[in-house]
Structure 1
Amino acid sequence: MLLYTTERSPRGFRVPAMAGEVSRARRRVVAIARDWQLPLDEEYLQDLELLASEVITNAVEHTEGTSIVCVRWTGVRVRVEVSDGDPCELIPAVSGPDEESGRGLLLVTSLAASWGTHPHREGKVVWFEIGPAVVPVAAAKVEFSAGCRHARDDASSGGEQRVLARLGA
C-alpha cells in the first residue's frame, strides 16, 4: 500500500550564491508545496518559507558556489534539502541579544519536525522537515531515491528521482 502517489516526485533547482536569490528560492519552495496541494495548513507553509530562507541563506552566505535545493514529500512531511560545496560541519552559532544574525539554526531546531546535516562528496547537505511532529507508524519507513545534487529543474521532473514510500520492514 502506497502512502502517496509517485506524481509528487522530488523537485530540485539551483540557487546562485547571490543574496538576492534567497527570496526567490524560498518562494519557489512554498510554490512547490502549494502546487502539490499537500495537507498542510497555512502555519506549516509559513514555517516552511521561514526555514527554507534560513537554510538557503546559510548556503549562499557561507559558500562561494551554487547550491542545490531539493523539495520532497515524504507522505507525511515536506522535506527540504540544501546541498552546498562547503564540507565544513554546520555548527549553530551562539548569538548575543544585540546581534542581528546567528539565530537561523535555532529557528530550524525550534520549528522543524526534524532536521540534520550530512556530508556528501562535494560538500554537505542540510535538511529539515515540516509537518506533524509525530509521524504515524505506517509512514515510518521512507526510502529516498537519487540524491538532490543531481536534481534537475522543476520543468523536467523525470521518473529517475521518484520518492518511494512503503509499509513494513
Structure 2
Amino acid sequence: MADHQEASITLPSEPASVATARRFVAEVLREWGLPDDADTADSVRLIVSELATNAVQHTFGQSPTFTVDVLLERGEWLRVGVTDSHPRWPKRLPAAVQQDNGRGMVIIRWLTVEAGGRLTVSPTDDGGKTVWIALPWTVGLPVTSPTGC
C-alpha cells in the first residue's frame, strides 16, 4: 500500500449531495480494502452523512459547494474532512435545542472517540473551515485472538 492515498470530491451544497458524498466515501474505502460491513465503514458513512448535512444546512447559502477529502496516511490513519466556505464553526447546541435537531456534532464526536480517533476543525484560506475526523486504520493488521494464541 502506498505511503499516502487520497481522494476528493466537490459537490453542490444541496440535499441530494449528502447521499453522493456518502457513496463516494464508501467506494473509496472499499477500493482501499475496507469491507462495506466493517464497523469502521458504518461509522465513517454516518459521520460523512452528518458532516455533509451540516455543510448543506448550516451554511445558509454562503457556501455554494462543499468538498469531501479522504486521506489514508502511512496505512495507519484514515482522515476524512468536509470543507465549506462558511465562517461559522460547528458548536454544540443547548440540550433544549438538541431535542429536534443539532445532534450531528454529538454523534460525530461520539463515533470518532469510540473508534479511538479524534475530531478537529481547521480554518481555510477563504475564511471557511474543514471539519476533520481521524480514525485508526486497521485494514491489513493481523487479527489476534483474545487469548493471544
SS at match of 2:129: strand
Question: Once the two structures are superposed, what CA deviation does each residue of 1:18-75 show, in whole Å capped at 9, x if it has no partner?
Answer: 1111012112111101111148961110001000101111011122210011101122
Q: How does 1:103-122 map to 2 (within 5 A)?
A: 103-112=103-112, 113-122=117-126
Structure 1 residue 17 corresponds to structure 2 residue 13 = yes
Cα displacement (A) at 1:125: 0.7
- Matched residue type, 2:87: P
Give the direction of change, closer, same or farther, for the CA distance of 1:14–1:23 in structure 2 (3 Å limit): same
Please give the TM-score of this superposition, normalised by the length of structure 1: 0.68
Please give the TM-score of this superposition, normalised by the length of structure 2: 0.77
Cα displacement (A) at 1:98: 7.5
Structure 1 residue 91 corresponds to structure 2 residue 91 = yes
1:130 is aligned to 135
Give the direction of change, closer, same or farther, for the CA distance of 1:29–1:49 in structure 2 (3 Å limit): same
| CA distance in structure 1 between the aligned counterparts of 2:57 and 2:46, rounded to whole angstroms | 16
Structure 1 residue 101 corresponds to structure 2 residue 101 = yes
**2:9·2:69 contact (CA, 8 Å) conserved in 1?**
yes
Give the direction of change, closer, same or farther, for the CA distance of 1:72–1:98 in structure 2 (3 Å limit): closer
2:24 is aligned to 28
Give the direction of change, closer, same or farther, for the CA distance of 1:47–1:120 in structure 2 (3 Å limit): same
**1:114·1:129 contact (CA, 8 Å) conserved in 2?**
yes
Cα displacement (A) at 1:76: 1.8
